[in-house]
Amino acid sequence: MRANKLLFSSLIVILVAGCSSSPSGRYSQHHDSAPTRLPTQAELRNAVPVPEPHSPQGNRDYEVFGRQYQVMDSAQGFAEEGYASWYGNKFHGHLTSNGEYYDMYSMTAAHTRLPLPTYVKVTNLTNNRSVIVRVNDRGPFHPERVIDLSFAAAYKLDMLDSGTAPVRVEAINLETPLASAGEQAKASSYHIQLVASSDKQRLSQIKDHLPTQFKEIATTEQNNGLYKLVLGPVPEHESHDLLERVRANGYPKAFRVKALQNSAAAPDGTAQN
């Protein structure tokens, strides 16, 4: 991916991403920017689709810059083409529209109308590279742009230099197998992410108050200033049941993420840094 060229040329790019166009004084940066390092190979792994209920927030119709947006009831069969943009440092560690924390090294994205969360396949039409991301945010609020990608997702699509790229966005049908049996066997371990925060002490307090059954497999991981509290890893056949038990025990926003081999924890395919 021309890593060296991308790293230094992209660091000076001033983004005009959809999310960054929302007026707010809660960010430390006035303009968005790229981080000081490229994603690791672990961070370039696709998001792992799994059935999830709609988030309790971020799924109502809304208005931005005088324009009304109607949130779709379902993403079934959804597909569209347009331009993708990406967002990075300015929003890293801040809340997304559905109440999670944005991690620019995770495979996530923002969309104006898709239900949160929705898993989508995004294909760069200029080079045919593709990535699977989890939509958990709103944006981009910019004409002709259809999706805002995380830094890691944009890097995987090789669109950092240009800043935008023509893409096709396709919602994932979770009833259709996404990988061969061999690929599924290689990705048989999962974590359950409970919460993410820039406040490590807050996560430690949450961990201390977890039920014993969860505390024994809980781990706090750090990734570029953002901390994540995860459970596991557990085998794939146990991960769905664990996810349901976690959600039933007061963590409705918990979700499943693929674990890395030889790693204690790796939320969203990331590695500890």
Tens of pLDDT, residue by residue over 150-198, are: 999 999 999 998 889 999 999 998 764 444 434 444 445 788 888 888 8
Mean pLDDT of 68-95: 87
More confident: 3 or 226:
226
Residues 18 and 148: beta-carbon distance below 8 Å: yes
Nearest alpha carbon to residue 50 among 263, 240, 186? 240
CATH fold for domain 181-269 = Alpha-Beta Plaits (3.30.70)
- Distance in angstroms (rounded) separating the CA atoms of residues 144 and 82: 6
- 118: Cβ–Cβ under 8 A, 6 or more apart, which residues? 75, 78, 111, 134, 135, 171, 172
Higher pLDDT, 104 or 178: 104
Cβ atoms within 10 Å, residue 206: 16
Contact 96, 120 (CB under 8 A): no
**pLDDT digit string, tens, across residues 16-26:** 333 433 444 44
Q: Is the dihedral of CA 195, 234, 55, 69 positive or negative?
A: positive
Residue 30's contacts (CB-CB under 8 Å, 6 or more residues apart) are none
Digit-coded pLDDT (tens) for 217-247: 888 887 777 888 988 888 777 777 788 888 8
Concatenating the DSSP letter of every residue in 111-140 gives: -SSS-SSEEEEEEETTT--EEEEEEEE---
Task: In whole angstroms, give the CA distance from residue 268 to residue 167.
Answer: 23
The residue among 19, 177, 181, 43 whose CA lies nearest residue 111 is 19
pLDDT band at 137 (very low <50, low <70, confident <90, very high): very high
Ranges 30-34, 104-108, 218-222: which has the least confidence: 30-34
| Res. 27: pLDDT tops 80 | no
Q: Over pLDDT 70: what percentage of the chain? A: 74
Mean pLDDT in the chain? 77
Q: Which pLDDT value is given to residue 134?
A: 94
pLDDT at 239: 79
pLDDT exceeding 90 applies to what percent of the chain?
Answer: 32
Sequence spans of domains, the chain: 3-171, 181-269
Domain 3-171 = CATH 3.40.1280.10: no
Q: Name the DSSP letter for residue 147.
A: E
- Quick one: tokens of 224? 């570029």
